[in-house]
Structure 1
Amino acid sequence: MQLDEKKEREAWKVMPVPDLVRHLVGTCHLECRSDMAELETLAELIALEEGPRNPTLVEIRDMITRFCATMRAHLALEERNLFPHILAMDAGEVPEGRREHLDSVKTLLEGEHEAEAGLLRSIRGLASALAATTTPGGPETRLHESIKHLAGRLQKHLYLENQVLFPRTR
């Protein structure tokens, strides 16, 4: 981890909760949605062009489609259910009984984080193996790089939620 990245992670640990939530939605979620749209388009194009000769590209495209659909639903659940409760709780507006609901939603989302990370690891593994056996700079390499880019952004997102935000709301 680079020094600047480490400093940034440490800074988020003391930032006000509303600032962290705004960052998650306005930066992390926005970037994730944009990266997923680009990745889906790239995977579709490559599968159309190269898929008849390499069925693994079709498999990767299908896995990416499933991953992105799941992630979009996950992001929406956070934005519509979890984050409003966290902000209300931070402002002292959530009755104590509602904390149980918040805890169950966080537990659900943490489980989804694990499942999504596992699916992304599988996609990365397939794409990495494929890229290693093809011409550098070819479509398989571009696909692998795009997946790595998204994975890096999601890793930061998961860290901010699981290691910074969720512990602060317990």
Structure 2
Amino acid sequence: MLHGEKEEREAWKAAPLSDLVRHIVGSCHQECRVDMARLETLVELISLEEQAPSPGLLEIRALIGKFCAGMRAHLALEERTLFPYILAREAGVEPGLTPEALASLKKVLEGDHEAEAGLLRSIRDLTLGFAGETDPASAEGRIHAAMKVLSQRLQKHMYLETHFLFPRTR
């Protein structure tokens, strides 16, 4: 672990939850949305460039589409339910969620994390770990590079929520 990453993680342990929520939405969610749009566009362009897209490329395209749709729904669910709850609680306002509803919501969000991680693993397997033996300028190399960036951002997003946000919203 890099020294700066360790300090950042330590800082999130004590930071107000509102700061963590704003960081997740303003940084992690925003970057993931940009990366997903870039990746989907790239895969579509590559599919159009090839006369007959390979079955592997078609499978990757389908998985990426499913993954991005699921992630967008997950991000929206967090932003419309859990995050307003956290901000209201921190501001001293009685939130609209009951403890039971909050527990259920967190279970859904954690399940989303597991499902999305599974799709990401499937894509990683199909793309040989986002690397393979490809030319970085080739279509396959560009997909690998875009997936690697998105994967790293999503891992940070899930780490922040799983280790810092979710445990502190009990």
Give the TM-score normalised by structure 1: 0.92
Corresponding letter in the other structure for 1:166: F
Deviation at 1:134, TM superposition (A): 4.0
Deviation at 1:132, TM superposition (A): 2.2
Deviation at 1:157, TM superposition (A): 0.3
2:125 counterpart of 1:125: yes
Instruction: Count how many residue pairs are aligned between Structure 1 and Structure 2.
Output: 170
Identity across matched positions, percent: 62
- The residue aligned with 2:102 is 102
Q: Which whole-Å CA distance do the structure 2 matches of 1:73 and 1:97 have between them? A: 19
Name the stretch that deviates more: 114-123 or 47-56: 47-56
Q: Which runs of 5+ in 1 are unaligned?
A: none
Contact 2:25–2:79, Cα closer than 8 Å, also in 1 = yes
- The residue aligned with 1:73 is 73
Judged with a 3 Å threshold, the aligned counterparts in structure 2 of structure 1 residues 95 and 134 are, in CA distance, closer, same or farther, namely closer
Name the stretch that deviates more: 37-46 or 121-130: 121-130
Q: Which whole-Å CA distance do the structure 2 matches of 1:112 and 1:51 have between them? A: 36
Alignment map for 1:33-52 (pairs within 5 Å): 33-50=33-50, 52=52
- How big is the alpha-carbon RMSD for the aligned residues of Structure 1 and Structure 2? 2.0
Contact 1:50–1:57, Cα closer than 8 Å, also in 2 = no
Deviation at 1:73, TM superposition (A): 0.7
Deviations along 1:1-55, whole A, 9 cap, x unmatched?
Answer: 2111121111111110111111111111111100000000011111222371522
Q: Which whole-Å CA distance do the structure 2 matches of 1:26 and 1:59 have between them? A: 32
Q: Which whole-Å CA distance do the structure 2 matches of 1:41 and 1:123 have between them? A: 16
Judged with a 3 Å threshold, the aligned counterparts in structure 2 of structure 1 residues 159 and 9 are, in CA distance, closer, same or farther, namely same
Corresponding letter in the other structure for 2:27: T
Give the TM-score normalised by structure 2: 0.92
Contact 1:130–1:140, Cα closer than 8 Å, also in 2 = no
- The residue aligned with 2:17 is 17
